[in-house]
Structure 1
Amino acid sequence: MDVKALFYILLLLFTISSAEDVLLNVKGVTNIATTDNNFICATLDWWPENKCDYNQCPWGKAGILNLDLGNRILSNAVKAFNPLRIRLGGSLQDQIIYQFGSHIKRCPNMIKIAGGLFGFSKGCLPQNRWDQVNDFFNKNGVKLTFGLNALIGKNISKVDNKSFLGDWRPANAISLMKYTISKGYKIDSYELGNELCGEGIGARVDSVQYAKDITKLRSIVNRLYPDVTTRPKVVGPAGFYDREWFDTFLHNVRPGVVDGVTHHIYNLGAGVDKELINRVQDPYFLSQIGQTFKDVAVTVRQYTPRAGAWVGEAGGAYNSGGKDVSHTFVNGFWYLDQLGMTATMNHKVYCRQTLIGGNYGLLNTTSFIPNPDYYGALLFNRLMGPKVLSISHEASHYLRTYAHCSKNGPGITVLIINMAKTIFNLSIMNDMNKQMREEYHLTPKDGNIQSDVVLLNGTPLMLTRSLDIPLLKPVLVSSSSPIKVDPQSIVFVQLKGFNAPACV
């Protein structure tokens, strides 16, 4: 036996001996939380191509005003979710007017200007672009949340140059809605304003005033959409959680005004931060944001229990994400952990910033080719149902596990995130399942966690020749063997025969 062969044998023996056996405890009698059936959501933004951070301009033509809606990959990527929830909004939405109504004489292009909110002038959504956007959404199956300009009619405070005072003036929004209704365009929900709560990002609105404004929006929606079966929801405030502001806001709205309480998450720091690559792999850091999710859920339950908590925008790293991290395999440790964690905290929707645009897009900004997180989102969407189950283990904190009733079909699906450089052999307590289980193992190309190519069960996920999303096929494994989870990998496991009364 040569030295090379001996080395590989020794390496194999070491790998086998270093694997850790773990027992998972899934409690399937009752569910602990419930998500919306369309929990997975992605955002589209207003940023023009000259939106730049850290001497880079990663948005290209991904803003909604110049996005190539005829791109076949984009169409197929959206269609694969059947349907995909999309939130159209972002930092610039409170500077957008709509080319509807006789009082709108001009439809200006947005340009960079000194002193403008976020460095840009006011812009306009042309009528023909709204038609094109809705045609795309209708053809490809989209549940749309549209973010309205909440600052129309308000004046900047002379005291702090950040607070906006006065009542929201809804005339332009009403014109948009009336046109939308006349064309038969479907809107799932309207959201008022973007990041105006608490201290605000760029601008702020007082919580009592915001409650008054969103109550006005509710009244308008009820009047224009008299059929409750097709009436859009009203959601807000679309900003970072501030307990005092949120409590005061919700205390000042009547029950039934708000259908979703939306908040934003950028817990990884700046996109340029050198610690970003370490934070997405640090379970202790990733767990810290759990308190915010819990606090939001408690606030919603206390003040408006019929509404649901939504993560309305989450890009991880702010200022367009990290150029060497946010679009790569390793970002999935943060993203899929966020999906699992928020679901257990009774959040109904989770909107990823972005579908396309910036460094954190699910799709590449220029080629439109799906990044690794796209496939993680698609598998979560197809496999994880709305009923969330309790799951626990006593192994490493670098092993994260989440369980739901399966979305389509019997049994449960378990999401496993292994951030460790260790193999885990997992068994499920009291699993009397005799059926073959289905496993989906996601790993990075060549073992490089900063690769933007992901493998499913060892095969690179690539678009087909016709630019379709590839089939996501599981491997069938005997239920008598443990679930082998490779180092730094993500696994979905579907157990159709698992006895979970909550899932019946």
Structure 2
Amino acid sequence: MGIQLVLFLFLASLRLGLSQDVEHGLILVQGIQAIAETDDNFICATIDWWPHDKCDYNNCPWGNSSAANLDLSHPFLVKAIQALKPLRIRVGGSLQDQLLYEVGSLKSPCHPFQKMKGGLFGFSKGCLQMKRWDELNNFFDNTGAIVTFGLNALKGRHPSGHNTVWQGDWDSSNAYDLINYTVSKGYKIDSWEFGNELSGKGIAASVSAVQYGKDLIKLKEVLNSLYNNSNFKPLLVAPGGFYSKDWYDKLLQVTGPGIVNVLSHHLYNLGPGSDEHLDRKILDPEHLSKVEPIFRSLSETIKKYGHWSSAWVGEAGGAFNSGGRQISNTFVDSFWYLDQLGMASRYNTKVYCRQTIIGGNYGLLDTTTFVPNPDYYSALLWHRLMGNTVLAASSDVFSPSLRSYAHCSKGRDGITLLLINLSNQTDFTLMVRDRVPLSSGGHENGTSIHVENSLLNNLKRAFSWIGRKGSDVTFREEYHLNAKDNYLRSQTMLLNGVPLELTNDGEIPTLEPLLISVHSPIHLDPLSIAFVVLPYFDAPACAAQTKL
């Protein structure tokens, strides 16, 4: 093992020494205090209602992935969800505000969604049969999923004839009957979400913040009544739309304390799936950072008007309208996805729901074969390695192409880094050290960076360690992610050079790390991603987490 490690380090240093662009620097982590916290079940994915004939740009990528007809018995689906246990699944999407429930006093016939000229999003109203609701809940129970269900928030309203605005009070009767049935059957829905993309100007429809707030108060009364005799109290999530500061501020002011438990918002920062330059946007650090003001502003909204609420990303798929064909289901997509997971965490986002677990071009699983796409493995690594305590992390390198995030490790001592290299020509050689707060008399940057091609200097650096905690641990774990054959649009992701593929028995593959000497630097290839587990890193902020 020792000879193999020395050879690995020598070859890595040789490669770096011959590389055209090598940038050395520090990853600075402040381990003394947390900057944010996520929920234990931070990773979430959606099951949508889109039928097979939902098409965008002459592409119809949904197949039978709707909550109404998804094959819940498919072993790949079951195993993929169980591997992420507990995975939060959000059932909802654009058509949920046209969905009726075949229960109680419903007098309308129960038909599936059908194409309809003039209908919202080009579809008719649809209906959920209770037989299917039973099947879904049995599936959730068998896989250990935590469920958020999106309710129809347009029932009883009517278009005003002015832009997308809908008016009128919400008719709660059908939702009441569904929730009552759910409680009577003992099904555990962790949270009920009210509406989909009706905030601000909306997409196909919108409701004023004042009216929405009044209806949320009514829904809270329904939940309190139906769960009155239950020890379990579900969360109320809203509005599941695109963030508009004035609208969100007003919603919290109207509802007041204790009504809205979760303030959810949607993100599609890459634009339409038809964009021919999606991969350029994904690899552009400036473009990726444009979403950060949304996280910051929503955090400020909650602090000022709704400190009893928490923030969720209720839906995010990168590119809207089903995602980008031959982009959203390939390796390159993991750059924006993991970067946004890291960024969202820094702003106390408790849950991040990926659009979708299956369906569209952006599914974590292939719509036809149910085989995991690269982003599934990115989500799985995050879920297994990144704890819910978020630490401040930065680097002293000049290049904006290096993105760095740090969390306490999940279920063990130390920290885990997420490092993303967006550059197509720069290798990064990195050491890790504590970032001592300035108030403690330390300096933010412990060393300056430099670019060099000297093989001798690379070898010298390979056996230096910058740290503060002595430890008997001599190795760290590294999980390097690359595209197969260096083709960014490959649907096969490599983990430490090994293709991530289901086993012959259809099992999720073992995610084996490289064990690297703690005295060597971290080498990050161009256009690659790495999770690095540092069990020896002294982070007092993580002490409480590891005791749980």
Shared fold (TM-score greater than 0.5)? yes
One-letter identity of the residue aligned with 2:426: T
Paired residues for 1:237-248 under 5 Å: 237-248=239-250
One-letter identity of the residue aligned with 1:90: G
Is the CA contact (8 Å cut-off) linking 2:81 and 2:143 kept in structure 1? yes
> CA offset at residue 41 of structure 1?
0.6
* Per-residue Cα deviation, 1:379-418 (whole angstroms, up to 9, x for no partner): 1111111110001112111010000011111111100011
- 1:502 maps onto 2:505 in alignment: no
Partner of 1:5: none
Partner of 1:464: 503
Partner of 2:419: 416
2:368 to 357, 366, 369: 366
- 1:399 maps onto 2:402 in alignment: yes
Paired residues for 1:100-249 under 5 Å: 100-157=103-160, 159-160=161-162, 162-226=164-228, 229-249=231-251
TM superposition score normalised by structure 2: 0.88
CA distance in 1, matches of 2:416, 2:300: 27
CA distance in 2, matches of 1:96, 1:182: 21
- The number of equivalent residue pairs is 496
Cα distance change of structure 1 residues 12 and 471 upon mapping to structure 2, 3 Å threshold: closer
Partner of 1:481: 520
Cα distance change of structure 1 residues 15 and 361 upon mapping to structure 2, 3 Å threshold: farther
- 1:50 maps onto 2:46 in alignment: no
Partner of 2:431: 427
* Per-residue Cα deviation, 1:337-360 (whole angstroms, up to 9, x for no partner): 000001001111111111111011
CA distance in 2, matches of 1:134, 1:218: 22
Is the CA contact (8 Å cut-off) linking 1:286 and 1:334 kept in structure 2? yes
When the two chains are superposed, the root-mean-square deviation of aligned CA atoms in Å is 1.6
CA distance in 2, matches of 1:12, 1:339: 31
One-letter identity of the residue aligned with 1:130: W
> CA offset at residue 156 of structure 1?
1.6
Is the CA contact (8 Å cut-off) linking 1:65 and 1:125 kept in structure 2? yes
> CA offset at residue 179 of structure 1?
1.1
Instruction: Name the SS of the counterpart of 1:348 in structure 2.
Output: strand
Instruction: Name the SS of the counterpart of 2:255 in structure 1.
Output: coil
2:354 to 352, 355, 365: 352
One-letter identity of the residue aligned with 2:31: G
Instruction: Name the SS of the counterpart of 2:33 in structure 1.
Output: coil
Cα distance change of structure 1 residues 68 and 32 upon mapping to structure 2, 3 Å threshold: same
> CA offset at residue 457 of structure 1?
0.9
Partner of 2:4: none
2:335 to 326, 333, 336: 333
CA distance in 2, matches of 1:457, 1:251: 50
- 1:80 maps onto 2:119 in alignment: no
Partner of 2:322: 320
Greater alpha carbon shift after TM alignment, 287-296 vs 228-237: 228-237
Partner of 1:37: 40
Partner of 1:491: 530
Instruction: Name the SS of the counterpart of 1:429 in structure 2.
Output: strand
Instruction: Name the SS of the counterpart of 1:252 in structure 2.
Output: helix
Cα distance change of structure 1 residues 322 and 17 upon mapping to structure 2, 3 Å threshold: closer
> CA offset at residue 104 of structure 1?
3.3
Cα distance change of structure 1 residues 151 and 11 upon mapping to structure 2, 3 Å threshold: same
Is the CA contact (8 Å cut-off) linking 1:433 and 1:495 kept in structure 2? no
Structure 2: 5+ residue stretches without partners: 1-10, 435-466, 544-548
User: Identical aligned pairs, as a percentage?
Assistant: 53
CA distance in 1, matches of 2:97, 2:41: 26
Instruction: Name the SS of the counterpart of 1:466 in structure 2.
Output: coil
2:485 to 441, 446, 470: 446
Cα distance change of structure 1 residues 183 and 446 upon mapping to structure 2, 3 Å threshold: same
CA distance in 2, matches of 1:82, 1:117: 35
Is the CA contact (8 Å cut-off) linking 2:16 and 2:22 kept in structure 1? no
Structure 1: 5+ residue stretches without partners: 1-7
CA distance in 1, matches of 2:363, 2:412: 31
> CA offset at residue 102 of structure 1?
2.9
CA distance in 1, matches of 2:154, 2:16: 65
CA distance in 2, matches of 1:200, 1:16: 50
Is the CA contact (8 Å cut-off) linking 1:433 and 1:479 kept in structure 2? no
Is the CA contact (8 Å cut-off) linking 2:414 and 2:538 kept in structure 1? yes
Instruction: Name the SS of the counterpart of 1:306 in structure 2.
Output: coil
> CA offset at residue 181 of structure 1?
1.1
One-letter identity of the residue aligned with 1:350: Y
> CA offset at residue 466 of structure 1?
1.4
Cα distance change of structure 1 residues 121 and 411 upon mapping to structure 2, 3 Å threshold: same
CA distance in 2, matches of 1:401, 1:485: 12
> CA offset at residue 152 of structure 1?
0.8
Instruction: Name the SS of the counterpart of 2:426 in structure 1.
Output: coil
> CA offset at residue 295 of structure 1?
0.5
Instruction: Name the SS of the counterpart of 1:369 in structure 2.
Output: coil
Is the CA contact (8 Å cut-off) linking 2:29 and 2:394 kept in structure 1? yes
1:379 to 381, 388, 391: 381
Partner of 2:391: 389
One-letter identity of the residue aligned with 1:113: M
Instruction: Name the SS of the counterpart of 1:19 in structure 2.
Output: strand
Instruction: Name the SS of the counterpart of 1:286 in structure 2.
Output: helix
One-letter identity of the residue aligned with 2:97: D
Cα distance change of structure 1 residues 17 and 123 upon mapping to structure 2, 3 Å threshold: closer
> CA offset at residue 15 of structure 1?
3.2
